[in-house]
């Protein structure tokens, strides 16, 4: 486990502690919020994850995908247009 906030701990109880940066909330909200994972809150899900640092193999796969997409796109578009007529 990397330990960052979007990775979950399966052993945690529902009444987990709140992240430090969150403000103090009214009791009814405390009750409700206890049922959600910290990174499940809408405000938290709007925080973008960082770009992945790709390994050499992953970079090769993505380049192969680019070539595949260009070639197959041309074929599929041509096929689709021909068959429409």
Rounded distance between C-alpha atoms, residue 54 and residue 62, angstroms: 10
Does 25 engage in binding with another protein (CB under 8 A)?
A: yes
* Termini Cα distance of the chain: 55
H or E element, residue 76: helix 56-84
Does 61 engage in binding with another protein (CB under 8 A)?
A: yes
Does 67 engage in binding with another protein (CB under 8 A)?
A: no
Does 79 engage in binding with another protein (CB under 8 A)?
A: yes
Q: Residue 38 — φ and ψ, nearest 5°?
A: -55, -40
Does 32 engage in binding with another protein (CB under 8 A)?
A: yes
For binding to another protein (CB under 8 A), which residues are involved? 1-10, 14, 21-23, 25, 29, 32-33, 35-37, 39-53, 58, 61-62, 65, 68-69, 72-73, 75-76, 78-80, 82-85
């Amino acid at each position: 486990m990397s330990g960052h906030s979007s990775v979950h701990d399966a052993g945690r109880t529902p009444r987990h502690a709140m992240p430090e940066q969150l403000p103090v909330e009214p009791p009814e909200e405390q009750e409700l919020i206890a049922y959600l994972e910290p990174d499940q809150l809408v405000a938290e899900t709007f925080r973008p994850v960082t770009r992945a640092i790709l390994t050499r193999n992953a970079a090769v796969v993505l380049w192969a995908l680019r070539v595949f997409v260009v070639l197959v796109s041309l074929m599929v578009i041509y096929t689709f247009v021909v068959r429409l007529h």
